[in-house]
Amino acid sequence: MDPVKMGKFIAELRKEKGLSQKDIANQFGINDSSVSKWERGINAPDIYYLGPLSELLGVSIKELLNGERKKPKKQKVRNQKKVLELKEVEKKFKKKVVLKNISMTIYEGEIVGLVGPNGAGKTTLLKSILNLYHISKGEIIVMGRNMHSDFEDAISKIGSLVDGPSSYSYLTGMENMKVMALLNHQKDLRYALALVEKFKLNNVIHKKVKTYSLGMKQRLGLVLALMKKPKILLLDEPMNGLDPLGMKELRELLKEISQKEKISIIMSSHILSEMENVCDRIIILDNGYIIDDLEIEEMQNQDKTLEEEFFTLTSGSTNQIGGEV
């Protein structure tokens, strides 16, 4: 980010919109001298102002950070069908807006990573998709079904592993599977048993879950999430606490699931190198906004790394993009 280039761009956009520095200052409840400092490149706007400023000036946050309008690029041809659409989703907790104008589309069989600083809104977004949090505005469409008005049909298409592995520690792995089968009205466990073999849990499936290692619990959690044959799998920090071998095994399993079963996976993680290795696409969140939507293949063709892109856009953590107001 070049603050001088960015400042000139803000000044140019402001004039195009017929706004004065004072107009912008009044909009955000700050001194017009602060807007003057932005435009002179002395300070960059703080992340808390970037989202509203981008909306006011009619450009994306990334365009603001780069100091220029995005050059039109050839759209990637997608043959897959849409499995999940978020349309201008907003989530408030009392007066605090945690998700802001989130719009995104997920396609069949792709792995999409959510990355961002702590508090960026990743877990809130996943829980909103699951309807654990009722969104304040917008629409969430799952396989053509509205999550609000067609909840049962929509949620039946989603499996999840959020807030850690979800299983009863005092039951065996097999007993947990039987409970999940009962909840999903499943009588045939053949598919579940095939998952047990795929996830290398044969030797422990009849042991109590409290004796499992974290890696085993993660794999059992995935088996339970996949038992109902979902079209979408949501994972929140699935690699937390795993050793390098565990991460490698999980990475290979996720790729196999997405490719062979045509399951779309949305996962959050702070481990950028692993996300780059496993994901087809990365959505960067900061302060509740989508900052960028990156195709991993395109990024690598430009000899860029996810870490470089992440720090360029977020400067490492929320509230670090700018300096003083």
Whole-number pLDDT of residue 78: 57
Q: What are the Cα distances from residue 183, in Å, to 177, 232, 305, 311?
A: 10, 18, 43, 43
82-157+230-313: in CATH 3.30.1490.20: no
- Whole-number pLDDT of residue 119: 86
Question: What is the per-residue pLDDT for 50?
Answer: 82
- Across 166-177, average pLDDT: 91
Half-sphere exposure of 126 (CA within 13 A, CB side): 25
Tokens of 220: 């059992």
Asked whether the predicted pLDDT for residue 15 surpasses 60, the reply is yes
Instruction: Look at 135 and 299; give whichever has higher pLDDT.
Output: 135
Same topology between domain 3-72 and domain 82-157+230-313: no
CA distances from 298 to 75, 285, 302 (A): 12, 19, 7
* Residue owning tokens 């897959």: 80
Instruction: Determine the pLDDT at residue 84.
Output: 96
Give the model confidence (pLDDT) of 211-226 as tens digits.
998 888 888 999 999 9
Q: How confident is the model at residue 193 (pLDDT cuts 50, 70, 90)?
A: very high
- 233-273 per-position pLDDT tens digit: 999 988 877 888 888 888 898 999 999 999 999 999 888 88
266 touches 238 (CB < 8 A): no
- For the beta carbon of residue 43, count every other beta carbon within 10 angstroms: 17
Q: How far is residue 49's CA from residue 29's CA, in Å, rounded to a whole number?
A: 11
**pLDDT band at residue 107, thresholds of 50, 70 and 90?**
very high
Query: Strand, helix or coil at 188?
Result: coil
Q: Which residues contact 39 (CB under 8 A, 6 or more apart)?
A: 7, 8, 10, 11, 14, 21
Question: What is the percent of the chain with per-residue pLDDT over 90, rounded to a whole number?
Answer: 43
pLDDT band (50, 70, 90) for residue 324: very low
Pairing of strands 232-236, 264-268: parallel
316: pLDDT strictly greater than 60:
no
pLDDT at position 185 over 60: yes
Task: Name the average pLDDT for the chain.
Answer: 87
Instruction: Write the CATH number of the domain with boundaries 3-72.
Output: 1.10.260.40
Look at the pTM and tell me if it is higher than 0.85. no
| pLDDT computed for residue 5 by the predictor | 87
pLDDT > 70: percent of the chain: 92
Query: Residue ranges of the domains in the chain?
Result: 3-72, 82-157+230-313, 169-223
Tokens read off for 320 = 């670090």
